[in-house]
């Protein structure tokens, strides 16, 4: 076969070469990063070949806006919502990848049945016989209410995938008699006890000096082992680096004021809201608002009525007072209605996406140039600072051309600095680099020698290059003396605390150790802070009534000791309770296994993030950060 293939290839070199060129060109086109304008089909992220598009991101962001509450400002929430939406979608794609690896399939029939069951919960979607209305009628209702069945369908599919994965894993969790017996006791055996919990103050332990600490350090073995650490070469541009060029002059301020003259009128108003969705609810709310308006026009107190009847939670306690606001701060129908009123007038019912409003205008004022001057100066200065800082860092990045930043940075008046080594831990800190917690993960995803894109932070902009990686090692004593001292003090303080507690127990019982608190008789499963700690859980299950438990340490580092005052045994297990208990244990463990597997899959994928590589399309995780920050035009 191979010999035949070779002979064919040799006799058809020209056609085969043409075919190979076409294939290679297609592959290059496929692997090339998406460039140009961002559209709804732009790939925002790839998770093991599963794409997240801009359309999906925009849809899920809209869903989150609705979930977080309609009264929230979309612009204020946008960074959080965007990050959360992308995280949700990537987790969903990870779930799909895991399902493929475990050969778990969710059929369209299963999703359709679950979707129909979901829709049947809403009477407005049912016909006179109790079935779902026609497709045309449902489509009309969905358009009026803003309900997106496609998003609900995706949520159902994702939930079914997760459920099937958990069920598959649960069947593989072995549960023996000892595990069943312990879980049964935790859930059903009632235990009452007295306990003492004491904090330990390590600061009272004196510094013993280098000789003692070095001995402690050498005996500590792997305790002071540091994980791989990296150093960064970084360039920071703050306001001082750009001087007065970013401060606007009077002409720029006046031009900015003229540009926003249409939004310099401010209104002071109160409102009453009747929440509604869809035409039917809107009509009912409008009728209710019209009747109420008649009473308000005749003299009914607006603020008191808002307290009693408005369905806007923010109206409680302030009589529906919205304070001073400009037109751009409110949705268009609301601001237009407010602008049409004279002070003291009450509007006709106003429909917005939140429901039906009654608005009482209490005041109107025009903001003058002097009123806005300081605000405009801040806005223009911020805008110029951000633009010029990004521009300078981008120039440095291009001049460095993927190499050392020092020369390029110096030529543009922003010297490069070298950070101290740091690990990829949440607690890691480096002097002179306060942004470390926000860039550490990215710095460890990059390869040594890679240069980041310019990054914006509240007080400055940053560009960095991964300078080097130090391998896992026990550092010299001098580098970690402070850490060694802290560990020594804590160990000594604990030794002293245990010795003191044991002596007090012998002399005067539990009361001599410290303040005693009583835990009433109840199943231990309700006391999660105890059950989560293996040692404390074992002590509470095995210590006899009237006896004192060993002295132990809680998860937050406090000394703990207890005396069992009563114990009411769990009832015997029946066939049904045993089966239910096994299923609960298996499901709980399966969920833990699933979370761990997803986390591992996520970590492995981020080690190979190349978007334009073959691996990046099929085996890695890539986030197209630039595209994710762009709003898609309608």
**52: β partners:** 45
- Provide the mean pLDDT of the chain: 85
Whether 196 and 135 have beta carbons less than 8 Å apart is answered as no
CA separation, residue 628 to residues 82, 83, 90, 336, 616 (Å): 8, 9, 13, 33, 17
Question: Hey, what long-range contacts does 162-165 have (CB within 8 A, 24 or more apart)?
Answer: 162/95, 162/594, 164/99, 164/104, 164/106, 165/95, 165/98, 165/99, 165/102, 165/104, 165/594
Please report how many Cα atoms fall inside a 13 Å half-sphere around the Cα of residue 584, on the Cβ side.
Answer: 11
Please check whether residue 616 is in contact with residue 46, taking contact to mean a CB–CB distance below 8 angstroms: yes
Helix (H) or strand (E) holding 634: none
Q: Residues 486, 528: one domain? A: yes
Which residues have a Cβ under 8 Å from the Cβ of 188 and sit 6 or more positions away? Answer: 523, 570, 571
Residue 382 inside a domain? The answer is yes
Q: 361 with 269: CB under 8 angstroms?
A: yes
Order of all β-strands in the sheet with 559-568: 517-523, 190-198, 559-568, 552-553
DSSP run (H or E) holding 510: helix 510-513
Q: What is the pLDDT of residue 69?
A: 56
Say if 209 falls within a structural domain. Answer: no
Regarding whether 104 and 8 lie in a shared domain, the answer is no
Q: Crossing angle for the helix pair 108-119 and 149-170, nearest 10 degrees? A: 120
**Cα(316)–Cα(466) distance, rounded to whole angstroms?**
53
Please name the residues in contact with 355: beta carbons below 8 A apart, sequence gap of 6 or more: 273, 274, 275, 276, 277, 281, 282, 285, 311
Domain boundary among 366, 383, 407: 366
- Secondary structure class of 599 (helix, strand, coil): helix
Give a yes or no: residue 178 inside a domain. Answer: no
For residue 314, the domain's CATH number is 3.10.50.40
The CA distance from 541 to 549, in Å, is 10
CB contact at 8 A, 444 and 230: yes
| DSSP-based three-state secondary structure for 423 | strand
Same domain? For 158 and 57 the reply is yes
User: What residues of the chain score a pLDDT lower than 70?
Assistant: 1-38, 66-76, 261-263, 608-619, 625-634
The verdict on 379 and 243 lying in the same domain is: yes
Q: What angle do CA 403, 407, 409 make, to 5 degrees?
A: 95
* CATH classification at residue 404: 3.10.50
456 and 603 housed in the same domain: no
DSSP conformation class of 315: G
The SS3 of residue 325 is strand
Residue 560: inside a domain: yes
For residue 270, what pLDDT is reported?
93
In a domain, 587, yes or no: no
Taking CA atoms, 555 is separated from 101, 148, 519, 558, in Å, by 36, 45, 19, 7
The set of long-range contacts for 450-453, using a CB threshold of 8 Å and a minimum separation of 24, is: 450/402, 451/397, 451/400, 451/402, 451/405, 453/397, 453/625, 453/626
Cα(265)–Cα(270) distance, rounded to whole angstroms?
Answer: 17
Q: Is residue 82 part of a domain?
A: yes
Q: 462 and 486: one domain?
A: no
Helix %, strand %, coil % of the chain (to 5):
55, 15, 30
57 and 71 housed in the same domain = yes
Residue 510, in any domain of the structure: yes
Provide φ and ψ at 340, rounded to 5°. Answer: -80, -10
- Listed as own residue / partner, the contacts of 540-549 with beta carbons closer than 8 Å and 24 or more positions apart are 540/191, 540/193, 540/564, 541/182, 541/185, 541/186, 541/189, 548/505, 548/509, 548/510
Does 153 lie in the same domain as 46? yes
pLDDT at 248: 85
The residue segments making up the domain with residue 49 are 33-170+598-628
Q: Determine, yes or no, domain membership for 60.
A: yes
List the CATH number of the domain containing 51: 1.10.4030.10
Q: In the chain, how many domains are there?
A: 5
User: Does the predicted model carry a pTM greater than 0.85?
Assistant: no
d(CA 181, CA 542): 13
Shared domain for 379 and 242, answered yes or no, is yes
562 pairs with which residues across the strands? 195
Q: Are residues 343 and 290 in the same domain?
A: yes
> Is the same domain home to 539 and 602?
no
- Distance CA(186)–CA(331), nearest Å, equals 54
17 shares its domain with 137: no
Domain boundary among 473, 505, 520: 473
pLDDT at position 10 is: 41
Q: Are 51 and 43 in contact (CB under 8 A)?
A: yes
Looking at 344, 366, 388, the residue that finishes a domain is 366
| pLDDT at residue 72 in the model | 47
Structure tokens belonging to residue 13:
């070199």
Structure tokens at 618: 């099929």
CA 608 to chain centre: 22
Dihedral sign computed on CA atoms, order 257, 259, 262, 266: negative
């Amino acid at each position: 076969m191979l010999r035949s293939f070779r002979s064919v290839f040799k006799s058809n070199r020209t056609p085969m070469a043409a075919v190979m060129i076409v294939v290679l060109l297609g592959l290059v086109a496929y692997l090339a990063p998406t460039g140009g304008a961002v559209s709804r089909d732009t790939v925002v992220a790839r998770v093991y070949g599963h794409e997240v598009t801009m359309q999906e991101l925009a849809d899920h962001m809209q869903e989150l806006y609705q979930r977080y509450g309609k009264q929230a400002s979309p612009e204020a929430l946008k960074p959080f919502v965007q990050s959360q939406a992308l995280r949700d979608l990537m987790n969903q794609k990870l779930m799909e990848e895991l399902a493929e690896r475990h050969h778990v399939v969710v059929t369209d029939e299963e999703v359709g049945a679950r979707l129909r069951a979901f829709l049947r919960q809403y009477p407005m979607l049912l016909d006179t016989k109790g079935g779902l209305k026609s497709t045309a009628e449902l489509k009309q209702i969905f358009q009026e209410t803003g309900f997106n069945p496609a998003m609900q369908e995706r949520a159902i599919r994702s939930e079914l995938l997760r459920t099937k994965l958990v069920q598959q894993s649960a069947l593989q969790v072995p549960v023996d008699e000892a595990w069943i017996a312990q879980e049964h006791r935790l859930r059903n055996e009632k235990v009452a006890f007295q306990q003492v919990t004491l904090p330990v103050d390590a600061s009272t332990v004196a510094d013993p000096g280098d000789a003692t600490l070095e001995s402690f350090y050498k005996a500590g073995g792997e305790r002071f082992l540091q994980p791989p650490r990296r150093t960064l070469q970084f360039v920071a541009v703050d306001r001082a680096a750009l001087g007065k060029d970013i401060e606007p002059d009077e002409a720029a301020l006046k031009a900015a004021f003229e540009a926003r003259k249409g939004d310099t009128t401010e209104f002071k108003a109160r409102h009453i809201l009747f929440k509604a969705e869809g035409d039917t609810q809107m009509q009912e709310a409008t009728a209710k608002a019209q009747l109420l308006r008649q009473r308000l026009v005749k003299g009914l107190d607006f603020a008191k009525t808002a307290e009693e009847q408005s369905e806007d939670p923010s109206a409680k306690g302030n009589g529906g007072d919205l304070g001073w606001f400009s037109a751009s701060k409110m949705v268009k129908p609301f601001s237009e209605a407010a602008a049409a009123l004279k002070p003291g007038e009450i509007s006709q019912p106003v429909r917005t996406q939140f429901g039906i409003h009654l608005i009482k205008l209490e005041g109107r004022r025009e903001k003058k140039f002097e009123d806005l001057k300081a605000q405009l100066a801040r806005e223009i200065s911020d805008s110029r600072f951000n633009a010029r800082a990004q521009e300078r860092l981008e120039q440095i990045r291009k001049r460095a051309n993927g190499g050392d930043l020092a020369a390029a940075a110096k030529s543009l008046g922003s010297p490069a600095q070298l950070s101290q080594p740091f690990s990829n831990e949440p607690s890691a800190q480096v002097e002179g680099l306060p942004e470390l917690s926000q860039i550490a993960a990215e710095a460890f995803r990059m390869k040594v020698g890679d240069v980041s894109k310019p990054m914006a932070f509240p007080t400055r902009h940053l560009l960095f290059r991964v300078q080097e990686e130090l391998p896992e090692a026990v550092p010299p004593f001098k580098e970690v003396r402070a850490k060694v001292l802290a560990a020594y003090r804590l160990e000594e303080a604990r030794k002293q605390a245990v010795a003191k507690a044991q002596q007090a127990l012998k002399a005067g019982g539990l009361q001599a150790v410290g303040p005693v608190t009583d835990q009433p008789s109840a199943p231990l499963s309700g006391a999660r802070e105890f059950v989560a700690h293996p040692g404390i859980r074992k002590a509470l299950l095995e210590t006899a009534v009237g006896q004192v438990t060993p002295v132990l340490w809680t998860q937050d580092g406090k000394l703990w000791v207890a005396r069992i005052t009563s114990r009411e045994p769990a009832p015997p297990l029946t066939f049904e309770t045993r089966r239910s208990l096994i299923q609960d244990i298996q499901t709980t463990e399966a969920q833990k296994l699933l979370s761990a597997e997803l986390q591992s899959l996520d970590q492995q994928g981020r080690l190979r993030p190349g978007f334009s590589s073959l691996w990046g399309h099929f085996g890695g995780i890539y986030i197209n950060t630039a595209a994710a920050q762009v709003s898609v035009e309608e």
